[in-house]
Every structure is written in structure tokens, then in C-alpha cells.
């Protein structure tokens, strides 16, 4: 039997990168996947790839920083597939690069809205639906920067630290109600977020930050999320797992 057989899963930021890899993997493991993204093109491409491999998927356009979009996303999942058992709150942005004393206020507001409030809005509506479905599992995608700081990204660092705290709080609240909530911390991963914004020298510098000697892949992050969302991790809740090639061990 497949790991996610007969489960309904919502994946945000699923039009590319980590979210897309998670969606494809979950579908291959039997989940009915609700693909969510602000990009209709990316989201529909993910759905098409899933269906081409005989998987079951639905695209719902949603901006995670909008609470009503998050509510509608859950409602569409339940309407289409009859319930909700799994969620991966993955959508996020990097935001502007500047020191805290010079950081643009509008940049701060946008990063916090998407990377932190967006995760809260997600679980705010996912949890009631999971309770009605008899339980579930949520994975919130934080970052290595949810545990340590770095120069030039105060909003991102603050948001990702917040995601870990939110995860722990929700995990404790719902541990006795058959809902597990965990977070993961990817290191620097080869995704469009990096490859579209950094030159070769910058990419080489990032590689040097990881003792393993390379950047990670979206598929490697997806494997960790899959384990946490599956029954194989049935005694795991409130945890943070980094997948970072040794970054945090230094």
C-alpha cells in the first residue's frame, strides 16, 4: 500500500521548486493533491504532470497572505475530495536584502504576510477540516534561518523563526486530537528562487556554506516532508527537522 493512499493533501507554493516536488511525490504515493499557487501557469503545469502519471490533482489559485484565499482553498479541497488529511504550508518569498536599520517597511510587511501570517492562515482553516476528517498531519516549511540569523534578511529570519514557534504551539494544542504539526528547515536548495536571482559567483559562495559540498534538491526536501506527513512519523509532533547538508552543524 502506498504511504498516502486515500489521503487528501493541500500543498501551497506548488507551482515550482519544493512545493512542486512535494506535490509530485505525494501524488505518486497515492494522495489526492490540491495544488495551490499564485501562478496559474505553474500550478496547472504541476497538475498536468500529476495527471500524466495517473495521479489525482486539482489546482486552486490562492495568495497565502490572504485569509479568505486560505479559507477558500480548504473549502475547495473538501468539496472536491471529501475531506482534508495533509497540508504542507510551503509558499514563501525571500524579500528585499537590507540591514534591519535600513529595511523597507513595505518589504517587511510583505515578507511577514506571506511567510508567517500565510502559514497561520493555512493552519487556521486546515485544522478544523482535519478534525472533521478524523485527524491529520501538517508540515510547515521554515528554513535553516528559522534557527539562526544571517545578514541582510531580518524579515525572512523573523518570519521563519515565527513559523517554528507557531508549529510548536499548534502541535501542543492538537496533539491529543489526532493532528500532528511539524516544521522542516531546508538549507539552500536549487530552486527558481535561487537560480533566477543569483549569479555563478554567488551560487558558488552558497555551496561553500554547506559541509556536504553542494546545494540540496527539491526532491530531497520532499522526501523529508513525506515521512513527516505519513504514518511512519506517527509519534512525531512539534518537531523541527533541518535538511541542510550540515549547515546548522557548524
Q: How close are the terminal C-alpha atoms of the chain, in Å? A: 40
Q: Which residues are catalytic?
A: 156
Instruction: Name the H helices within the chain.
Output: 17-28, 40-52, 67-81, 105-112, 118-132, 154-174, 192-195, 200-207, 218-229
C-alpha cell recorded at residue 241? 527537522
Judge contact between 185 and 143, C-beta under 8 A.
yes
Residue 59: other Cβ atoms inside 10 A: 23
Report which DSSP code applies to 115. Answer: I
User: Between the CA of residue 69 and those of 66, 89, 128, what are the distances in Å?
Assistant: 5, 13, 16
Amino acid at each position: 500500500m502506498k504511504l498516502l493512499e486515500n489521503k487528501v493533501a493541500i500543498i501551497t507554493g506548488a507551482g515550482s521548486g519544493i512545493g512542486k516536488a512535494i506535490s509530485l511525490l505525494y501524488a505518486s504515493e497515492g494522495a489526492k493533491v490540491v495544488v495551490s499557487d499564485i501562478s496559474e501557469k505553474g500550478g496547472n503545469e504541476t497538475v498536468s504532470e500529476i495527471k500524466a502519471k495517473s495521479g489525482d490533482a486539482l489546482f486552486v489559485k490562492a495568495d497565502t497572505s490572504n485569509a479568505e484565499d486560505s479559507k477558500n482553498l480548504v473549502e475547495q479541497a473538501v468539496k472536491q475530495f471529501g475531506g482534508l488529511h495533509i497540508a504542507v504550508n510551503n509558499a514563501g518569498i525571500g524579500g528585499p536584502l537590507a540591514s534591519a536599520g535600513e529595511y523597507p517597511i513595505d518589504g517587511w510587511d510583505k515578507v511577514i504576510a506571506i511567510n508567517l501570517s500565510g502559514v497561520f492562515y493555512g493552519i487556521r482553516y486546515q485544522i478544523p477540516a482535519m478534525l472533521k476528517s478524523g485527524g491529520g498531519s501538517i508540515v510547515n516549511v521554515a528554513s535553516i534561518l528559522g534557527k539562526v540569523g544571517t545578514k541582510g534578511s531580518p524579515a525572512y529570519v523573523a518570519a521563519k523563526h515565527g513559523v517554528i514557534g507557531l508549529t510548536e504551539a499548534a502541535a501542543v494544542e492538537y496533539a491529543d486530537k489526532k493532528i500532528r504539526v511539524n516544521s522542516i528547515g531546508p538549507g539552500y536548495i536549487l530552486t527558481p528562487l535561487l537560480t533566477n536571482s543569483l549569479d555563478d559567483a554567488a551560487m558558488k559562495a552558497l555551496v561553500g556554506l554547506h559541509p556536504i559540498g553542494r546545494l540540496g534538491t527539491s526532491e530531497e526536501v520532499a522526501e523529508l516532508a513525506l515521512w513527516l506527513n505519513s504514518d511512519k512519523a506517527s509519534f512525531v509532533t512539534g518537531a523541527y527537522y533541518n535538511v541542510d547538508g550540515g549547515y546548522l552543524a557548524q
